Amino acid sequence: MDIDRFVEDCIDANKDAEPQAAVKEVLARAVDNPSQALAAIGEPDQAGLKVLHRSVTLTIFCAAWTPRMNLMPHNHGMWANIGIYTGREDNIFWRRTADGIQAYGAEALFEGDAAALPVDAIHSVTNPLQRFTGGIHIYGGDFFDTPRSQWNPETLTEEPSDGAVIKALFERENERLRC
């Protein structure tokens, strides 16, 4: 897998009449051979994000989850495609109700899997394994400059998504792993 070629292919696919589906095809091909993707991206050794591309129309990054890491319910405000190249990512899907949000479904993504999340998706993420999970995440917009929400994991109260809170979560997870 050539990372630069992969990014260019995603940028080209994003110009398609059905950009999410076209980009997902590129992503699915990339993670279809997890060992090649892992060799190109590298073995994850700490929680974090490695940005491969960022523009107003497309964001691509590699996300790494520490063993047993959990990420609170959140939305993206844009479509998302997720492809797993090592480990496993369990997603719980949530929907808005008159009382807040309620879990309604789940999907486990294994090495080699690629999934599409619609614009209005709310999900939480867990790495259930005793090893790192690595995934390629692709968003139909500027992920870092789009207002989003997160939900308090204890109360399920909606809050503005805060980059500082997410950064601190990654730092706590990395510290937990070192102890």
**What per-residue confidence (pLDDT) applies to 179?**
81
HSE (side-chain half, CA atoms, 13 Å) at 137: 24
Which residue, 58, 67, 50, is CA-closest to 136? Answer: 50
The tokens for 179 are 């102890």
Q: Give residue 163's pLDDT band: very low, low, confident or very high (50, 70, 90).
A: confident
**What per-residue confidence (pLDDT) applies to 140?**
98
What's the pLDDT tens digit per position in 72-128?
999 999 999 999 999 999 999 999 999 999 999 999 999 999 999 999 999 999 999
Q: Are 46 and 102 contacting, i.e. CB atoms less than 8 angstroms apart?
A: no
At 25, is the secondary structure helix, strand, or coil? helix
First to last CA, the chain: 34
The rounded distance, in Å, linking the Cα atoms of 14 and 140 is 8
Looking at domain 3-178, which CATH architecture does it have? Sandwich (2.60)
**What per-residue confidence (pLDDT) applies to 89?**
98
Instruction: Quote the DSSP letter at residue 144.
Output: G
The rounded distance, in Å, linking the Cα atoms of 64 and 127 is 10
Q: Please state the length of the chain.
A: 179
Over range 40-68, report the average pLDDT.
96
**What per-residue confidence (pLDDT) applies to 40?**
96
Using alpha carbons only, give the angle 149, 150, 153 rounded to the nearest 5 degrees.
160
The tokens for 176 are 């937990």
Tokens 């997720």 found at: 82
**Domain extents in the chain:** 3-178
The tokens for 115 are 């999934």
